Homo-oligomer: A and B are copies of this chain.
Amino acid sequence: MATILSLKDAVARNIHDGDSIAFEGFTHLIPHAAAHEVIRQGRKDLTVMRMTPDIIYDQLIGMGCVKKMIFAFAGNPGVGLLRRLRDSVENGWPHRIELEEHSHAAMANAYEAGAAGLPCAVFRGYRGVDLPKVNANIKTLTCPFTGEELAAVPSLRPDVAVIHALKADRKGNVFLEGITGVQKEAVLAAKRSIVTVEDIVDDLGPVSSNATVLPRWTVTAVAKVPGGAHPSYAQGYYPRDNAFYIAWDAISADRDRFQAWMRDNVLNAGPDVFAERVSSRNSAHLEPTA
């Protein structure tokens, strides 16, 4: 049953050293503020999973929080490679993380299977490629009706799912819209969940009868963090800060510069800085629609 908490308390109560965590958000609604709180609280030995580990995981990895990463596409979208990830994998800085690598289809199906309470996901995939040779968690099974061989991967069932949503009501029912990615599946697949939201309102308002709503009893903690997705975006609130994604390439290229940025913007900051970041960028040309 959802409890409405500060982000600090939500992370302190629900994320522990050694947990497996899915910070999800498919370009839209990436929970940056929550990841920064995890870094600030010094969590270690995390197994992190994410279809598209972009800046958010580059930061977690560079700050030494991560033991293992389950992923499908690790890049700064449209910009290039992830330099902190590369430094870990290629040079062991700050330490070498373990990788479990899948395709997008596999991970999307694995979250779906996790939400559906199944032990594995079954799909048509991985034919002719090398990934099954280096990942023991890719197996096959045979359709008992047609004999077709299908791919199977274990379902993803993290200890904690962390997402950013548009809004919640005061009971803790959570609403998201637009590119919803695998967030609903991640929350339903997880043992616990933390949802940061742009706003907490009396009533979710006149949403579609088929809106993506996570009932309060599927969510563990809700924290209001306006701007909490920045540099990702929140549909109807603020756009993607593409310029920051481009700028990250240079910030992350150098260990010292990376550490200085993290010190100034994460370790010595708090969740409140996110509201400032999006308001200074967008107030002139974007009105929240919700």
* A interface with B by C-beta (< 8 Å): 116-120, 122-124, 137, 139-146, 148, 150, 152, 154, 177-178, 180, 207-212, 235
Is there contact, CB below 8 Å, between A117 and B124? yes
Chain A to chain B contacts (Cβ below 8 Å), 6 pairs? A119-B143, A119-B145, A177-B210, A180-B210, A208-B210, A210-B211
A214 to B139, CA, bound (A): 34
Question: Contacts A118-B124, A123-B118, A124-B118 known; A178 to B210 CB distance under 8 Å?
Answer: yes
- Counting chain B CB atoms within 10 Å of each CB, the highest count among A117, A119, A137, A144 belongs to A144
Q: Is the Cβ of B145 less than 8 Å from the Cβ of A154?
A: yes
Contact of A209 among B116, B117, B142, B235 (CB under 8 A): B235
Copies of the protein in its oligomer? 2
Indicate if the CB atoms of B210 and A210 lie closer than 8 Å: yes
Interface of A: prevailing SS? loop
Known contacts: A177-B209, A178-B209. The answer to whether A144 contacts B140 by CB under 8 A is: yes
Cα(A211)–Cα(B154), bound, Å: 30
The complex places the Cα of A112 from the Cα of B221 at a distance, in Å, of 32
Q: Which of B146, B207, B209, B212 contacts A119 (CB 8 A)?
A: B146
Q: Does B139 contact A141, Cβ atoms closer than 8 Å?
A: no
How far, in angstroms, from A267 to B139 measured CA to CA in the complex? 55
Q: How far is the CB of A182 from chain B (nearest CB, A)?
A: 14
Option from B122, B137, B140, B212 in Cβ contact (under 8 Å) with A118: B122
Complex contacts, A137 vs chain B, CB 8 Å: 145
Q: A145–B152 contact, CB under 8 A?
A: yes
How far apart are the CA atoms of A212 and B180 in the complex, in Å? Answer: 14
**Which B residues touch A150, using CB under 8 A?**
118-119
